[in-house]
Amino acid sequence: MDEELQNIQKSLNFMSDELSKVAEKQEKLLALVTEVAKLKKIIKAKDAIIRGLEHRIEDLEQYTRREDIIVSGLQTTHRSYARATVMSMTTESGEDAPPEEQQTLERQVIQFLESRNIKVAPENITACHTLPKKHKDAKPTIAVRFVNRKHKVELLRQAKLLKGTGVYVNEHLTKKNADIARDARNLRKLKKIQATWTRNGQVKIRLNGTPEESKVVTIRDLKDLDPYK
């Protein structure tokens, strides 16, 4: 009997030691869990700061385009770089570019707009140039910068006169905002929202529903459109 009691005591002592080890490991594990929770909070706070900085950078980039509009779908012609180089290096009269090629890009844009009863004064334009093409055979996308924002707003207000021409005039959006605007237009086509437009570089959508429900929402990230898909 004494021997059995001793064996039982040894087993109990062994179990007690093991339980102490388990308790010690559990305590360390709980400390690690607490530390992980703290780190998650720190990461979350830093992510919020990063998102804020990204939004700020995006806003600044969009702000630099506040006087710009984009003309897409307009077929233009202009003197090629090779022809211009040859003509500048030779003193002979030679063959010059056809008259339509001699017109500046700015002038071609203005003439097209005037053909649709949209008046644009050349002195209100500070720059006009094409953007890099996504496809070799694509029509050029033209960026036009005005002296101030009111000229841009006035042109956008008359953009409805271009209906049926295949030419479109829009604000010059950053890539991020352009992607948001594209997805918003797709949602409108699918009738998931009533309407979408841009204002001062920001993408706006109007929700479906009654006049009370159809509020206007500003979309800053692509994920902000997820609830309406």
Residue pLDDT tens, the chain, 229 long? 666 776 776 777 778 777 887 888 888 888 889 999 999 999 999 999 998 998 899 999 999 999 999 999 998 886 544 444 444 444 444 344 444 444 689 999 999 999 999 999 999 999 999 998 878 778 889 999 999 999 999 999 999 999 999 999 999 999 999 999 999 999 999 999 999 999 999 999 999 988 878 899 999 999 999 999 9
Query: What is the reported pLDDT for 92?
Result: 41
> What DSSP string describes 122-176?
GGGEEEEEEEPPSSTTSPPEEEEEESSHHHHHHHHHTGGGGTTTT-EEEE---HH
Of 67, 173, 161, 170, nearest to 112 by C-alpha is 161
CB 69 within 8 A of CB 155: yes
Query: What is the reported pLDDT for 21?
Result: 79
Query: What is the reported pLDDT for 26?
Result: 85
SS3 68: strand
Please list the residues that pair with 131 across neighbouring strands: 141
Please list the residues that pair with 76 across neighbouring strands: none
Alpha-carbon distance of 58 to 174, in angstroms, equals: 8
The burial class, CB within 10 Å (0-12 / 13-18 / 19+), for 190 is exposed
Extents of the domains making up the chain: 1-63, 66-172, 173-229
Query: What is the reported pLDDT for 27?
Result: 84
CATH superfamily, with its number, for domain 66-172: RRM (RNA recognition motif) domain (3.30.70.330)
pTM of the model: 0.69
